[in-house]
Structure 1
Amino acid sequence: MQPRTPMDIQELARAFMLSRTILTAHELRVFDRIADGHCRAEEIAQATGTDTRAMDRLLNALVGFGLLTKSEDAHFDLTEIARQALVSESPDFVAGLDHTAQLWNRWHYLTESVRLGTAAAPDLNQPRSREWTERFIAAMQANAAPKADELVSMLDLSGVRRVLDLGGGSGAYAAAFARRDERIEPILFDLPDVLDIAAGYLGKAGILHRIRMLAGDMLRDPLGGPYDLIWVSAIVHMFSPEENAKLLQRCAEVLAPGGQLVIHDFIMDETRTQPPAGALFALNMLVNTRRGDSYTEQEIREWMENAGLRYQETKQTRHPTALMIAKKDK
């Protein structure tokens, strides 16, 4: 939304109220309860262990947002879009909401992060729980799975046999490479607990048998190889420039001669304002990482070339992201 009046700015500033209302309803599993047949505020409150009056007010607000309907006898029901997207058993369920709720807590510290220049949340140094990791990977799967086949189809895979999906999370892209060509052997590299979660997604998709898994820390542990293609999606934004230079050097070392390195991420213009989604995501990295950022094409190209790779091209996707492709000389 581009604000045109002072009232528009006020609405933008208060938009967090809508977001928080939806997230609270999700965290309390309100939509699941209504789908199960709990229709009155007191029934939903009892099922969720909440206050009846407060639950009624929450439900009324959701009616105003078009997510619920309310009958004359005070029975609530789901609208079509809520039933499709907000009921956990729906095939179109927005699985990333749990992670979005986690992000809410980090964004609370944006002001302090801007003052300090790094993430300021007090829990930043605490070990991540299994629940946190599951929520994060669910969000990554929800984001990647719908477009994985499309993005992989944009690549020249002639002669490609071994593909490293570096930090591949749920394995959505590894699965897409496997579907693209039965001769391709995808190797999914990530932390051990992430690979355990990924196995569930890949097993459910019926493609686990095609994916080889390699556990480790991408900045420290052996990456295997050699590879004909290394796919690095939604990774460089997590790291500092120095860490990314190191990471791409490590990738170059395990690429076969003639192999491709593909970076998929927000690729910013030199003003760092376009695409707008990337500019906003840079703030997300500010509140969630020590030095993560949304990087420009020139910055990424320098890391590629300093690693001894030859930059080839940048391909814009239908999304706010792009593919940057480099090759290792034969």
Structure 2
Amino acid sequence: MISSLDPVGCKAFEVALAIDLFQELDKAPGTIVELAQRCRVSTRGLRPLLFLLASVGCVKEQADTFHPSPELNRFLSERWPDQKSQAPQAGDWENLEKAVRTGRCVRPPIEGAQDGGEFFSGVVETLFGLHFGLAKSLAHALPSHPLKVLDLGAGSAVWSLGLAVQRDDIEVVAVDHQRVLESVTRKFVAKNQMEERYVLRPGDYHEVELEREHYDVIYLGHVIHSEGWEASTSLLKRCKEALAPQGTVVIAEWVGSTPRADDYHANLFDLNMLMFTEHGLVFDVSEMEELASRAGFGRLRWVKGAGKYPVLFASTDS
């Protein structure tokens, strides 16, 4: 059954009509690449659009091939006119069609060098509350000996603080933009009385100097979803070089479901990455494992903590 559409869902459906997606599916099912070619849009733009449409029942995915929903024609004739007329304006989402066609974000990207931490600084307190329980619950999966920790893209330092508040043998280097470190990270570190155990290192995590073979644990907490394939692979390679022998990178992320239709909110976030980042996306389990393998990590394990999604532990030992 096709779900009632929220404002973003309505806009996604409008875009699907504008690019003749449903007409093309009526002609023949297709993969993301095939449908992008037939609709003359970008693969990057069509991918999250299809996933979101699958979540609300407008299309069906089978073995990487998309088909029209059997209920689509009825929805178009009986329900869509009312839903469309009642849908409010959706702000930046009015530019979704352009993003789908071009595969490019519709405004200066968030969480990047141009933003300098401005966007993240505004939402960090909410995110700390969402992630702190998960961060604390991961401590049991880490070695019990004293640890040197690196928190890349630290933000509120929620991931490393989840470990540090439970153990007094942890030393942390937190890396982020200067603005974030001063207005956000320092506040949360002080609130948890951890100033003496933290070093705040300003810079871009792709470029800032990192000690080689030095850290036992490196946190990448909700970082790679804004980076995309190439930059995430490069960042993970940097992490591998900075890890001490037997070290571990902890990668906490949104994780796309299998099949992708099963998690509407992950797919909505995936569409956000299209709209507001240059290369970002939500990876699924196999894609995250491929990223880590590309970077040379030999041991991968998923740890279930106190959160919706499991967390990937990537280690240098095979």
Helix, strand or coil at the partner of 1:256:
strand
Question: For residues 314 and 130 of structure 1, do their structure 2 counterparts lie closer, same or farther at Cα, with a shift above 3 Å needed?
Answer: closer
2:197 matched to 1:202? no
Residues 1:239 and 2:227 are matched in the alignment: yes
Task: Give runs of aligned pairs for residues 55-74 of structure 1, distance below 5 A.
Answer: none
Structure 2 residue matching 1:109: 3-state secondary structure: helix
Kindly indicate whether residue 174 of structure 2 is the aligned counterpart of residue 188 of structure 1.
Answer: yes
Separation (CA, whole Å) in 2 of partners of 1:200 and 1:264: 22
Residue in structure 2 matched with residue 35 of structure 1 by the alignment = none
Alignment equivalent of 1:260, drawn from 238, 248, 253: 248
Matched to 1:328, the amino acid is T
**What TM-score, normalized to structure 2?**
0.65
What is the correspondence of 1:207-222 to structure 2 with a 5 Å cutoff? 207-222=194-209
Q: Does 1:311 align with 2:299?
A: yes
Distance 1:178 1:189 in 2: 16
Q: Structure 2: how far apart are the matches of 1:316 and 1:234?
A: 16
Equivalent residue in structure 2 for 1:107, among 84, 93, 108:
93
1:326 aligns with 2:309: no
CA distance in 1, matches of 2:242, 2:109: 35
1:248 equivalent in alignment to 2:236: yes
Residue 162 of structure 1 contacts residue 184 of structure 1 at CA under 8 Å; is this kept in 2?
A: yes
Deviation at 1:169, TM superposition (A): 0.4
- How far is 1:215 from its partner? 1.6
Tell me how far apart the structure 2 counterparts of residues 14 and 283 of structure 1 sit (CA, whole Å): 10
Worse-superposed segment, 263-272 or 195-204:
263-272
TM-superposition CA deviations, 1:67-98 (whole Å, max 9, x none): xxxxxxxxxxxxxxxxxxxxxxxxxxxxxxxx
Of the structure 1 ranges 214-223 and 242-251, higher mean CA displacement relative to structure 2 is found in 214-223
Q: How far did residue 208 of structure 1 move?
A: 2.4
Pairwise CA distance, 1:146? 4.4
Structure scoring higher RCO (CA < 8 A, sep ≥ 6) equals 2
Q: CA deviation at 1:9?
A: 1.8
Deviations 1:134-182 (A, max 9, x none): 31333432432344322x3342222351011111101122222211210
How far, CA to CA, are the matches of 1:158 and 1:271 in structure 2?
A: 37
Identity over aligned pairs, percent: 25
Amino acid across the alignment from 2:284: T
Q: Is the 8 A contact 2:133 2:307 kept in 1?
A: no
In structure 2, the CA distance between the partners of 1:112 and 1:212, relative to structure 1 (3 Å rule), is: same
1:111-151 Cα shifts (integer Å, max 9, x gaps):
3222221211368799548764531333432432344322x
Report the 3-state secondary structure (helix = DSSP H, G, I; strand = E; otherwise coil) of the residue aligned with 2:216. Answer: strand
Deviation sequence 1:252-297 (CA, Å, 0-9, x none):
0010111111111122245433443222210111111011000122
- Whether the aligned pair in 2 keeps the contact of 1:118 and 1:287 (CA below 8 Å) is yes
From 215, 220, 224, give the equivalent of 2:211: 224
CA deviations over 1:282-325 (Å, ceiling 9, x no partner): 01111110110001222222222222211331123443322111
Moved more, 175-184 or 237-246: 175-184
In the alignment, residue 121 of structure 1 is paired with which amino acid? R
Report the Cα distance in structure 1 between the residues aligned to 2:119 and 2:186, rounded to whole angstroms: 17
**Conserved? CA contact 1:312–1:325, under 8 Å:** yes
Change (3 A) 1:320 1:105: farther
Counterpart position of 2:127: 140
Contact 2:108 2:276 in 1 (8 A): no
The structure with the larger Rg is: 1
Q: 1:301 — aligned with what?
A: 289
8 Å Cα contact 2:134/2:307 also seen in 1: no
Q: In structure 1, which of residues 272, 276, 293 is the aligned counterpart of residue 264 of structure 2?
A: 276
2:4 counterpart residue number: 9
Q: Can you give the 5+ residue segments of structure 1 that lack an aligned partner in the other structure?
A: 17-103
Aligned partners of 1:123 and 1:281: how far apart in 2? Answer: 15
1:210 and 1:323 mapped to 2: Cα distance? 25
**Alpha-carbon separation, structure 2, partners of 1:142 and 1:216:** 25
Q: Aligned to 2:152, which of 162, 166, 173?
A: 166
- SS of 1:206's equivalent? coil
- Is the contact between residue 190 and residue 217 of structure 1 (CA under 8 Å) also seen in structure 2? yes
Structure-2 change in CA distance of 1:195 and 1:117 (3 Å):
same
CA distance in structure 2 between the aligned counterparts of 1:160 and 1:181, rounded to whole angstroms? 9
Partner residue, 2:280? 292
Residue 207 of structure 1: CA displacement?
Answer: 2.2
- After superposition, the CA RMSD in angstroms is 2.9
